[in-house]
Amino acid sequence: IRALGDDHQAALSVGISLQTIWVLVWFVSGIIALVTGIAWGARAGVSFALEIIAFKALPVLMLGGLESITGAIVGGLAIGILEKLFEIYWGQPLLGGNTEVWFAYVLALIVLLFRPQGLFGEKIIERV
């Protein structure tokens, strides 16, 4: 792992498989995160109702851009405000309510169709 961290080309030239090391690193870090999460959740008394908050964070990050803190703040405020406005003006009268569950994902999908990097994300420039 240290050899790959220092120089990819040198590690590849002596026969260290980049793909195998990456799979191993991600596997071990995933197992550590899983065990830590289970232990911390059991100790802190985490309830499964917290998954709703975690699921709301995904469209907020997608909307704002994954590498932008400002985008996450603006995305969270935008989704919160637009979610409530949609629920009041269109959700209750037209759709019967409970649009807060799916509105954030639909909004993030619409934004990602036009700006795949999010509102404040860095534009990836591909040169040929």
Highest mean pLDDT: which of 46-50, 81-85, 96-100, 120-124? Answer: 81-85
Whether residues 65 and 106 fall in one domain:
yes
Whether residues 67 and 28 fall in one domain:
no
Residue 72: inside a domain: yes
Residues 56-71 as b/e (b if ≥16 CB within 10 A, e otherwise) read: beebbbbbbbeebeeb
The 10s digit of each residue's pLDDT in 66-97 is 888 888 899 899 999 998 898 888 877 777 77
Whether residues 91 and 67 fall in one domain:
yes
Residue 128: inside a domain: no
Q: Is the pLDDT of residue 42 over 70?
A: yes
Q: Domain boundary residue among 44, 59, 75?
A: 44
Domain count, the chain: 2
The pLDDT value recorded for residue 32 is 94
- Measured CA to CA in angstroms, residue 19 lies from 6, 10, 27, 32, 119 at distances of 16, 15, 12, 20, 33
Least trusted range by pLDDT, from 10-14, 30-34, 43-47, 90-94: 43-47
Whether residues 11 and 30 fall in one domain:
yes
Range of the domain at 59: 50-114
